[in-house]
Amino acid sequence: MAVMTYAQAGCLALRQEMERDQRVWALGEDVGPDGGVAGQYLGLRERFGPGRIVDTPISESMIMAAAIGSSLLGMRPVAELRYADFALCAADEIINQAAKARYMLGGQVQVPIVIRQPMGMRWGMAAQHSQSLENLWVGTPGLVVVATATPADNHGLLKAAIRADDPVVFLEHKELWLETGEVDEGAGPLAIGQAAVRRSGADITLVSWSSTANACVAAAAQLAGEGIDAEVIDLRTLWPWDRDTVFASVRRTGRVLVAHESTRVGGFGGEVLAEIAEALFGQLKAPPRRLGSPRIPVPYSKPLEDLCRVGPDRIAAAAAALCRGGAAPGMPELAPG
């Protein structure tokens, strides 16, 4: 196994897919000589040339429109949108065109696009560069939504996304770019829609994705010191999501906490808990709970930004309270809603 960063793992996956399939190409701002904001395209322009690694003007709607047109003609584009926040500039192309073209045309066309969206908070990038918008994309029929937490998953799931025949919103957390981990360079694509059990446990199920899944693993280590055995499930794919793995875990533990970085209000955690409650209500030992960020713009100030974070300490405190039968502490309320 090679050890590499999360960004390098994504770059490797794209290079391997471009070598395997001549139809794969990438476009976006600064993906050429600069290699992307985190080096996730580094060296690909030199390897494949400007015809397959295409630098574009600052226009997310144009990037998506070009990618959609290309996919309808049989190509497999990877569209880099720089930050997840900027994808909102291309919302019409993503939501009204890419997500619906296959359905609207009776299955006569496919739209095999990967829409890479670096997401989440990263050390004071403030309200327009720190959002986690997965709930928007999960709520859009026609889109597959992937959110990776480790270098190995970034490698295997980007391969899977490129080979998928439907548009895939591929969420990569900005704070993970420099995280390192083992990657099997010869591994093939991972299965979309299959969660990973990051840690087995018997007392409570922690469900999460992206960087917060790593925070749950750290929280589980803290809980072990308190005699609480937590199971951690990293969904990895938010749509379709792996109900079988989550339900099987909750049936065994009887307790569940969902944690994510996006806002608690309207967040995808509410949907996960609703389905768990509908299916397993009589088997729960405690009310299901969720942790998410307050419903406020993410502040630039680091102390205030930290209040929005769902880190290991908060996850461990909420999980311990659930296991002990007390009220689970939530996130600080910074604003109504």
What residues are annotated to the active site?
129
Q: Exposure of 110 by Cβ count < 10 A (0-12 exposed, 13-18 middle, 19+ buried)? A: middle
| Token pair belonging to 203 | 């007392």
Quickly count: other Cβ atoms within 10 Å of residue 145's Cβ: 27
For tokens 């929280």, what's the residue? 219
Q: In sequence order, what DSSP letters do the residues of 283-315 get, joined into one string?
A: G-SS--EEEEE-SSPPPSSHHHHHHH---HHHH
Q: What angle do CA 228, 226, 292 make, to 5 degrees?
A: 70
Give the separation between CA 308 and CA 313, rounded to whole angstroms: 13
Helices (H), 31-163: 44-48, 60-72, 91, 101-104, 134-138, 151-163
The gap from C-alpha 43 to its chain's centroid, in whole angstroms, comes to: 25
